Amino acid sequence: LPFMSFDITKITFYYPGYSFSITKDEKKDIWSLDRRIPKGKKLSNKKIDDILGEFDKLRVYKFVDDITPDLGFRYPQLRVRIEANVFSPKTSKKEKKSVMLFFGKSGDFGVYVMRADRKWEAYLVKENVLQKFPKNRQDLLEDENKNNNNNK
């Protein structure tokens, strides 16, 4: 990624047929979900930290020379838009940047990934990264009093 996870301010997950987002309020350092959270539930900070950690650990296992339709980028299993506010040395201010990742088919050694702004490049990354990403909004939630019970 062209930035670090601590700069990320919004992540949108696009699965076939549905999408959802989490957004960070930078002043309060609090993440929120794009829909109302059901009563008795809350957004899991640990799960968000795990997702951010996966972006930091995202490494190219192999560069793909021949980008063909069978890599699955025409109908990806997941698209992720990541937005960040990144400090620019040129302007000495933070600037908004974003990147869209397409996760294509899974191969023998991982999953194929392409950046939307670099359609001439494709990569193979570890497949388990997809297992770490939430499949739906509920995957980001935990019981509201989970931490309260652990402190007793």
DSSP conformational letter for 37: P
Predicted pLDDT at 151: 43
Instruction: State the pLDDT at residue 38.
Output: 86
Both tokens assigned to 71: 């890599």
What is the structure's pLDDT at 103?
A: 93
Q: Which residues are bridge partners to 93 per DSSP?
A: 88
**pLDDT score of 148:** 53
Nearest to 111 by CA among 74, 61, 39, 152: 61
How confident is the chain (152 residues) per 10-residue block, as mean pLDDT? 86 93 90 89 91 88 86 90 87 88 86 90 85 90 71 42
- Position 150 scores a pLDDT of 47
The pTM of the full predicted model, rounded to 2 decimals, is 0.85
Cβ neighbors of 29 (< 8 A, separation 6 or more) are none
Number of residues that make up the chain: 152
- Paired strand residues for 19: 14
Nearest-angstrom CA–CA distance, 117 and 139: 29
pLDDT for 152 equals 40
